[in-house]
Amino acid sequence: MFEISSAWKTTYPEALAGVLVIRGVSNPSHSPELESKKAALEEDLRARFSGQGRAMIAAHPVLQAYGDYYRQFKKTYHIQLQLESIVLKGKSIPSVAALVESMFMAEMQDLLLTAGHDLDTLQLPLTLDVATGTEGYTLLRGEEQTLKPGDMMIRDPRGVISSIIYGPDQRTQITPDTRNVIFTVYAPAGIDEKTVTEHLEHIKANVLVFAPGAQVDILKVYKGK
């Protein structure tokens, strides 16, 4: 189901990728139980980062790892900005359909970049690769985008489904009808395997709140070396 290119192993030997496949899910537009868990997470985040300004938040080891990666492309890690809005400005994690919200919650809890896809829209295998700068795909919001050379990406035989810098695609997006889902995690150098595994477990736990009968098919961390 998931392959790693030699280019990725050579370019990012210290990086990791996480994959979580869950079958038999539902995707309600609202889950009271998940909303309650989200509110508790927001309070926990504010407690964890209490008294910290932007510089101290940015010094978190996970955020530093992503910050180093994004700076190669003259970009800022958007999850850091979302964390700052919750911790420093009192904002909330966005309320969206439950499968995506489960992913957002785990991203805020662990600060790891994750993409979610409807498994049934994919052609297998998926390949973790490095962009040459010639690839393009349709972003979630409908815009056409050419990838930046050197960016990590995941593709199926039909094309790119996500990249670190530009995020997930439109073709394989999670919808209200999604019943089998795959979450993929990009972890650049500086993030350890245990952190990625725990993140996948957190997504799984969130999904099982509203889809208790769902079955985990794959929960695995792939290494560059």
Residue 85 domain flag? no
- Domain total for the chain? 1
Tokens of 178: 């999604």
- The answer to whether residue 144 is domain-embedded is yes
DSSP 3-state assignment of 140?
Answer: coil
Q: Is residue 168 part of a domain?
A: yes
Give the structural domain span for 118.
2-28+95-223
Measured CA to CA in angstroms, residue 191 lies from 5, 26, 45, 155, 185 at distances of 20, 31, 20, 23, 11
Q: How far is CA 222 from CA 2, 14, 41, 196, in A?
A: 9, 11, 28, 10
- 38-89 pLDDT, tens digit per residue, is 999 999 999 999 888 889 999 999 999 999 999 999 999 999 999 999 999 9
Q: Is 74 within the bounds of a domain?
A: no
How far are the Cα atoms of 86, 130, 225 from residue 77, in angstroms, in the given order? Answer: 15, 19, 25
In a domain, 42, yes or no: no
Q: Say which amino acid occupies 54.
A: R
Q: Given a cut of 90, is residue 26 above it in pLDDT?
A: yes
Q: For 121-176, how does the pLDDT look when each residue is reduced to its tens digit (9 = 90+)?
A: 999 999 999 999 999 999 999 999 999 999 999 999 999 999 999 999 999 999 99
Q: Hey, what are 76's tokens? A: 């800022």
Q: If you average pLDDT over residues 115-120, what whole number do you get?
A: 98
Share of residues in the chain with pLDDT > 90 (%): 94
Alpha-carbon gap, residue 132 to 130, rounded angstroms: 7
Q: Is residue 83 part of a domain?
A: no
Distance CA 84, CA 193 (A): 25
Residue 126, domain CATH: 3.50.40.10
Q: What is the pLDDT of residue 172?
A: 98
Please enumerate in sequence order all residues whose Cβ is within 8 A of that of 50, keeping only pairs 6 or more positions apart, or say none.
Answer: none
Q: Which of 114, 98, 104 is nearest to 42 (CA)?
A: 104
**Residue 225 reports pLDDT greater than 80:** no
